[in-house]
Amino acid sequence: MTDACVIFDIDGTLVDSVEFDARAYIAAVRHTLGNVSIRSDWSYEHVTDSGILRQICEENRLDAAQCEQHVKARFGELIADHLRREGVCRPIPGALRLLQELRSTVDCHIGIATGGWVHTAGMKLKHAGYDVAGLPMASSDDGYERIRIMELCRARLPATRVTTYVGDGEWDRVASERLGWRFVGVGNRLREKCQHWLPDFSAPHLLPTLLG
């Protein structure tokens, strides 16, 4: 059994994309479904692209399976358009260096588990300068429950002594706790809300925090 596994969220964790991603998601839903109600605080049971859409459709008596294909397509168009026009999709400070350091660490395995859909996740990671070739990834295309997405990513990695999930949302912390994983919170939304917290990844010598 190897030593450690570190699984990362994407939006707000590896990429500074929360604001424009949320705007594009809302616009895609409303373009496709009309002026449906969307909770600005994202207080949905499953805060993933598929999970939020599923609940919106249930609350408005719409067929989620039929709607998802069209919302996903429009969302992809809006994200691509944003990246083409604005060109703003920055990595979280220090994250590019940290991923390279982790990939070169003996007995450490890395994965990505995102609540986003994989087509837009790939766009954002590429634009921000990440090379994630060969890294196991699970996304909202694999399921609408965040815990399920995280479990699928974990299953694609070797068994380890410690599993750490790195995320920026309260839903990330809760899911990690339910799975019995270590959790490292990143960014202002989780300040003073978890045992292990980082403002970003710019500080040196972060491996002990991540690897346990």
- 70 and 133 share one domain: no
The residue segments making up the domain with residue 207 are 2-17+89-211
pLDDT digits (tens, 9 = 90+) for 53-111: 999 999 999 999 889 999 999 999 999 999 999 888 999 999 999 999 999 988 899 99
DSSP state of 91: B
How crowded is residue 66: how many other Cβ atoms within 10 Å of its Cβ?
Answer: 9
On whether both 169 and 179 belong to a single domain, the answer is yes
Residues found in the chain: 212
Q: In angstroms, rounded to a whole number, what is the distance separating the alpha carbons of residues 209 and 164?
A: 9
> How many whole angstroms separate alpha carbon 33 and alpha carbon 41?
20
* Local confidence band at 176 (pLDDT 50, 70, 90 cut-offs): very high
- 111 and 26 within one domain: no
Domain count, the chain: 2
Residues 115 and 169 in one domain: yes
In this structure, the answer to whether residues 59 and 95 fall within a common structural domain is no
Asked whether residue 79 falls in the same domain as residue 156, the answer is no
Q: Are residues 73 and 148 both part of a single domain?
A: no
Task: Give the residue among 97, 82, 98, 96 at the shortest CA–CA distance from 15.
Answer: 96
Q: Per-residue pLDDT tens for 5-45?
A: 999 999 999 999 999 999 999 999 999 999 898 988 899 99
Same domain, 77 and 145: no
